[in-house]
Amino acid sequence: MQRGTFQLMKSVNKSIILNKIRTSEPISRAQIAKDTKLTPPTVSSIVKELIEQELVRESDLGESKGGRKPTMLHINNNAFYVVGVDAGPETVECILADLSGKIVERVSSKLNIPITNGQFISILKENIHKILHTSKPYHDKILGIGVAMHGVVDIETGTSLVAPNLDLRNIPIKQKLEEEFNLVVNVENDARAMALGESWFGGHGDADSMVAVNIGRGVGSGVVINGKLYHGAQDIAGEIGHMTIDINGEICECGSRGCLQTFASGVAIAERTRKKLEGKSETITGEEVYKLAESGNTAYIEILEETGMIIGIGLTNLIHLINPRKIVLGGGVMKSKKFILPKIKQTIEQRVLSPAAKETEVTVTKLGEDATLLGAVSLLLVELFDPV
């Protein structure tokens, strides 16, 4: 679907109705009018248009509350598709997913460091071309491309301003991909994309405020309030990895000391292990720490439990600042949830300010390693279903 066509599909009332159907299906026209405060003729007219565009489908009749039984409405999930890209820092992964987040095609390739801006863009293009080549029956149904990129992203221009793990700056991702594919391209920080993906596809019901925290090679988060990402005044909201935990701690890659990232990332866990078990674990990785803990080695179990306590301190600070209804944890480090999660919850329980704040639910993503990819997909869907 070309860029102009996608823009024509969007309107405020249409998106209000689409989102109501998405979150409440099956639902009748009358119930939509009642819940949205739109007039019944407006609802009927827009629903007719949505059915013609194949975005909405009708199902068997619903229950009657007196009079004729209503026809129920659903989102037609395979009416359109979105290309989602998780861009780095070690691989580029690319999927094609329908409106429900069901993945129908997948490709990936490794990134070899060092790399230039041009080489990075070429790898993105190559993976997207592969997806498009293997999904020719869907070509006319593709809404656009969502890209989840680590580091600092200017979402207005779709430019990667700083990609620290790739040592790249000012990559014009949106511009180059729109020129290549003539599709709408939205670019977002990977942790924030993951948060949006959790909100859309994570099965969290009607949680009105949620924070998703990605703990892996680094630590980042995204804040979703009433279904929308919160970016902050200078677009750095969610940088929980650079919350100071110890003013005398290790120097972080950002230049400050004692950031949460210097304790909780996979690299940091391995480094703490090397220091605590000097001479025994000189080349150990975070993944190996988990495997040794899983085998019952108490020294490694204690390191992971300590990591859970430190993450719990960071999340307690987050609860005091934002007071979200739910915190969802993802990333490679959370593969050790067996040892980490109980300590996180225990620390929050002990440190949180008020009994009511203890009601913030802390859980691990059910989307697994696809959380960020589905977040990239949701960057397009949020425009179609809720552009207000």
Pairing assessment for the beta strands 326-330 and 361-364 based on DSSP bridges: parallel
In this structure, the answer to whether residues 57 and 124 fall within a common structural domain is: no
| Domain stops at, among 75, 106, 122 | 75
Distance CA 151, CA 226 (A): 25
How many domains does the chain divide into? 3
In this structure, the answer to whether residues 220 and 352 fall within a common structural domain is: yes
Range of the domain at 304: 205-365
> Any idea what the CATH number is for the domain that residue 34 is in?
1.10.10.10
Contact 80, 98 (CB under 8 A): yes
Distance CA 127, CA 198 (A): 24
> Any idea what the CATH number is for the domain that residue 91 is in?
3.30.420.40
In this structure, the answer to whether residues 316 and 297 fall within a common structural domain is: yes
| Nearest Cα to Cα of residue 214 among 239, 183, 236 | 239
Inter-axis angle of helices 298-322 and 266-276, nearest 10: 130
- Take residue 233 and report the two structure tokens written for it: 């005044």
Query: Residue 5: its pLDDT value, please?
Result: 59
> Which parts of 37-85 fold into alpha helices (H)?
40-52
In this structure, the answer to whether residues 216 and 327 fall within a common structural domain is: yes
Phi, psi of 20 (to 5 degrees): -65, -40
| Domain stops at, among 75, 93, 127 | 75
In this structure, the answer to whether residues 235 and 289 fall within a common structural domain is: yes
Contact 324, 222 (CB under 8 A): no
In this structure, the answer to whether residues 257 and 300 fall within a common structural domain is: yes
Distance CA 300, CA 336 (A): 11
In this structure, the answer to whether residues 257 and 360 fall within a common structural domain is: yes
Query: Residue 9: its pLDDT value, please?
Result: 58
In this structure, the answer to whether residues 24 and 171 fall within a common structural domain is: no
Query: Residue 387: its pLDDT value, please?
Result: 54
Length of the chain: 388
In this structure, the answer to whether residues 144 and 238 fall within a common structural domain is: no
Q: Tell me the average confidence (pLDDT) per consecutive run of 10 residues in the chain, 388 residues long.
A: 58 87 90 93 94 90 64 93 92 95 94 94 96 86 94 92 90 97 95 92 81 92 90 86 94 92 95 83 86 94 97 95 93 95 96 84 92 95 76
| Domain stops at, among 53, 75, 97 | 75
In this structure, the answer to whether residues 360 and 275 fall within a common structural domain is: yes
**pTM score of the predicted model:** 0.88
In this structure, the answer to whether residues 65 and 143 fall within a common structural domain is: no
In this structure, the answer to whether residues 71 and 85 fall within a common structural domain is: no
